[in-house]
């Protein structure tokens, strides 16, 4: 199975209107359906939660308050996030932070 991490930013209010129109939950929309609402790559601070409790970056070990929502791991910056994505795509599963369970 090929796993590909996609981090894109969408115009959510328009995407939501479209989802209502076609009668589907937003997360069930296909990539083709989402494409017209694509704004660009998702900025790092949108990919992550900023926590007051800091921990070590999963990749480089630097202390950080950013927790990636997708993988549920602490990540200090965009470069480390890209590395985490490629490790995930290569088949690695991360031990998700409890705060991210169910996100
Ligand atoms: Zn890092």
Q: What is the pLDDT of residues 24-82, one digit of tens each?
A: 999 899 989 999 999 999 999 999 999 999 999 999 999 999 999 999 999 999 999 99
pLDDT given for residue 61 in this prediction: 98
How many other C-beta atoms lie within 10 A of the C-beta of residue 81? 25
**d(CA 23, ligand 1 centre) in Å:** 41
Contact 64, 38 (CB under 8 A): no
**d(CA 81, ligand 1 centre) in Å:** 8
**d(CA 45, ligand 1 centre) in Å:** 14
pLDDT given for residue 1 in this prediction: 61
Q: What are phi and psi of 27, to 5 degrees?
A: -75, -10
How many other C-beta atoms lie within 10 A of the C-beta of residue 71? 24
Give the DSSP H or E segment for 13.
Answer: helix 12-22
**d(CA 69, ligand 1 centre) in Å:** 15
Those residues whose beta carbon sits under 5 angstroms from the ion ligand 1 are 57, 59-60, 62, 76, 80
d(CA 79, CA 70): 15
Question: How confident is residue 100, by pLDDT bands cut at 50, 70 and 90?
Answer: confident
Stretch 80-99: mean pLDDT: 94
pLDDT given for residue 2 in this prediction: 72
Q: What is the pLDDT of residues 1-10, one digit of tens each?
A: 678 998 999 9
């Amino acid at each position: 199975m090929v796993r590909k991490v996609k981090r894109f930013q969408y115009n959510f209010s328009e995407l939501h209107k479209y989802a209502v129109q076609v009668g589907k939950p937003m997360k069930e929309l296909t990539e083709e359906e989402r494409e017209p609402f694509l704004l660009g790559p998702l900025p790092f601070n949108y990919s992550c939660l900023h926590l007051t409790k800091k921990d070590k970056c999963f990749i480089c070990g630097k202390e950080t308050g950013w927790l990636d929502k997708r993988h549920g791991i602490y990540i200090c910056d965009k470069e480390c996030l890209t590395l985490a994505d490629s490790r995930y795509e290569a088949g690695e599963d991360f031990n998700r932070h409890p705060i991210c369970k169910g996100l």
